[in-house]
Chains A and B, each alone.
Chain A
Amino acid sequence: MEDLVSGLLAGKVRSLAKAITIVENDLPGKREILQRVYPRTGNAYLLGITGPPGAGKSTLTDKVIAHLRGRGKTVGVIAVDPSSPFSGGAILGDRIRMQQHALDDGVFIRSMATRSHLGGLAKNTVDVIHLFDAAGKDVIIIETVGVGQDEVDIVRIAQTTVVVMVPGLGDSVQISKAGVMEIADIFAVNKADRDGAEKLVNELRAMLEMVKSEIKPEIFRTVATDGVGIEELVAGIFAHGRRVEESGLVAKKRCLQAENELKAYIYDMIMERITSLGGYDEIVRQVAAKKLTPMTGVEKLFAGLGIAQEE
Chain B
Amino acid sequence: MSKKIKVLIAKPGLDGHDRGAKVVSRALRDAGMEVIYTGIRQTPEQIVATAIQEDVDSIGLSCLSGAHNKLFPKVVSLLKEKGADDVLVFGGGIIPDEDIAGLKQAGIAAIFLPGASTEETIEFIRKNVKTA
Residues 26-53 of chain A: 1 if any B CB is under 8 Å from the residue's CB, otherwise 0? 1100000000000000000000000000
| A110 interfacial contact with B, CB 8 Å | yes
Residues 50-87 of chain B: 1 if any A CB is under 8 Å from the residue's CB, otherwise 0? 10111100000000000000000000000000111000
Instruction: Write out the residue numbers on chain A whose beta carbons fall within 8 Å of the beta carbon of B84.
Output: 14
In the assembled complex, the Cα of A119 lies from the Cα of B4 at a distance in Å of 21
Instruction: Write out the residue numbers on chain A whose beta carbons fall within 8 Å of the beta carbon of B37.
Output: 91-93, 95-96
Residues 30-48 of chain B: 1 if any A CB is under 8 Å from the residue's CB, otherwise 0? 1111111111001001100
Q: Do B53 and A108 touch across chains, with their CB atoms under 8 A apart? A: yes
In the assembled complex, the Cα of A103 lies from the Cα of B37 at a distance in Å of 17
Q: Do A113 and B38 touch across chains, with their CB atoms under 8 A apart? A: no
Q: Number of residue pairs across A and B with beta carbons under 8 Å?
A: 87
Q: Say whether, besides A89-B32, A89-B33, A17 and B55 are in contact (CB < 8 Å).
A: yes
Within 8 A of B (CB), among A70-122: 83-84, 86-93, 95-96, 99, 102-103, 108-111, 113, 115
- Majority secondary structure of chain B interface residues (helix, strand, loop or mixed): mixed
Instruction: Write out the residue numbers on chain A whose beta carbons fall within 8 Å of the beta carbon of B34.
Output: 83, 89-90, 92, 111, 113
In the assembled complex, the Cα of A17 lies from the Cα of B53 at a distance in Å of 5
Instruction: Write out the residue numbers on chain A whose beta carbons fall within 8 Å of the beta carbon of B49.
Output: 102-103
| Contacting residue for B38 out of A18, A86, A99, CB 8 A | A99
Instruction: Write out the residue numbers on chain B whose beta carbons fall within 8 Å of the beta carbon of A95.
Output: 36-38, 50
In the assembled complex, the Cα of A222 lies from the Cα of B50 at a distance in Å of 28
- Shortest CB distance A285–B (Å): 24
Q: Which 8 A-B pairs have the closest CB atoms?
A: A89-B29, A96-B39, A102-B46, A17-B55, A89-B32, A25-B3, A21-B55, A93-B37
